[in-house]
Amino acid sequence: MLRVGTRSSKLAQAQTGHVVDALRALDPTISVETVVIATNDSGVADKSRFVSGIEQQLRSQDIDVAVHSAKDVPGEPTPGLLIVAVPKREDPADMLIGAESLAALPEGATVGTASLRRAAQLRAARSDLNVEPLRGNIDTRLGKLASGEYDAIVLAAAGLARLGVGDDLARGRLDFVPAPGQGCLALQVRDIDLTTTTLIGPLSDKNSQRELTAERAAAIGLVATCHTPVGIHARIADRGDEPDEMTVRGWLGLPDGSEVIEDEVRGLASEAQLLGHLLAQRMHAAGGREILAAAEEMAA
């Protein structure tokens, strides 16, 4: 029996369902149990609140595999646990729901988002917008849009696709730099559990894992926290004669969008971690340290 742990949200369970289906497709003889874990997210100050409860169950051997949204997993590894598989990535883009583009919104329009990064990029793109916090699951957020509380909202394309919602609404793809790991799932196991590692290893997509490696390396190099608006996106080209070329794009700024730094590096996908570190170094050299420190002060 392979016990796969997930958070209780509708999206988390849908993501885990895809993983379970893929495991059964690999080997129909595998017996898989989905374990829904009610986590006390409010008790942890940073973004690890989304994964710490599941990691605790993994360490105590109540589950064998943890399924996380990769963007929620802190950059520094958890002792005793490893991310051993990254399934094929969903679209990492941010989507504007309620309008076909930012330009289509009237002056002073109210746009909702729960993400500090998205809010900063919205304000940098259009300082006239009224960017307001938006909490709740995807259904709740779409309901608030439908009730007229917001003129538009911003959601991850990956979440919409995995839940199969939002296709009937006005929507536009934003040219924002997404969060590190957005669109990726991270499958985590105990580092001594070689049997489970062998079972789930084939679920990993090589390009997706390399992209995640580069993005996490850049985030670690920048020393990004939940108080710092940072976007990192790695993309591997598929151009026939250059299938191993990777571009890593970075964005960081102040929460009010008044000051931003953007940069990108290119190189071999096989050197994903090195490219991520290089991007972080370049952004620091361009004034990133000062912006990140100022962002932390604004959040204090």
**Residue of higher predicted confidence among 65 and 43:** 65
**Domains of the chain: residue spans and CATH:** 2-87+184-204 (3.40.190.10), 94-173 (3.40.190.10), 212-299 (3.30.160.40)
Q: Choose the catalytic residue: 7, 117, 210, 216.
A: 117
72 is catalytic: yes
What pLDDT is stored for residue 77 in this prediction? 85
Structure tokens at 147: 């009730």
Average pLDDT over residues 263-268: 97
Instruction: List the single range of 14-18, 58-62, 242-246 with lowest mean pLDDT.
Output: 242-246
What pLDDT is stored for residue 240 in this prediction? 57
Write down the residue that tokens 């000051």 correspond to: 259
Confidence of residue 162 (pLDDT cuts 50, 70, 90): very high
205 is catalytic: no
What is the spatial distance between Cα 230 and Cα 261, in angstroms, rounded to a whole number? Answer: 10
Q: Which pLDDT tens digit goes with each residue over 118-149?
A: 999 999 999 999 999 999 999 999 999 999 99
Q: Choose the catalytic residue: 71, 210, 216, 249.
A: 71
Across 263-281, b (16+ Cβ under 10 Å) vs e yields: bbbebebebbbebbbbbbe
What pLDDT is stored for residue 42 in this prediction? 46
What pLDDT is stored for residue 242 in this prediction? 57
What pLDDT is stored for residue 173 in this prediction? 97
What is the spatial distance between Cα 138 and Cα 176, in angstroms, rounded to a whole number? Answer: 20
117 is catalytic: yes
* 102 has pLDDT over 70: yes
Please count the CA atoms within 13 angstroms of the CA of 171 that sit on its side-chain side. 17
* 180 has pLDDT over 80: yes
Structure tokens at 142: 């779409």
184 is catalytic: no
Q: Choose the catalytic residue: 72, 191, 205, 256.
A: 72
Residues 6+ apart with CB under 8 A from 286: 261, 263
Q: Choose the catalytic residue: 7, 141, 171, 210.
A: 141
126 is catalytic: no
What pLDDT is stored for residue 185 in this prediction? 98
Q: Choose the catalytic residue: 10, 59, 126, 226.
A: 226
What pLDDT is stored for residue 44 in this prediction? 44
Q: Choose the catalytic residue: 7, 64, 89, 118.
A: 118
- As a whole number, the mean pLDDT across the chain is 93
Q: Which pLDDT tens digit goes with each residue over 71-95?
A: 999 988 899 999 999 999 999 999 9
Residues 6+ apart with CB under 8 A from 285: none
What is the percentage of the chain residues whose pLDDT exceeds 90? 87
Q: Which pLDDT tens digit goes with each residue over 278-297?
A: 999 999 999 999 999 999 99
**Residue of higher predicted confidence among 228 and 50:** 228
Confidence of residue 237 (pLDDT cuts 50, 70, 90): confident
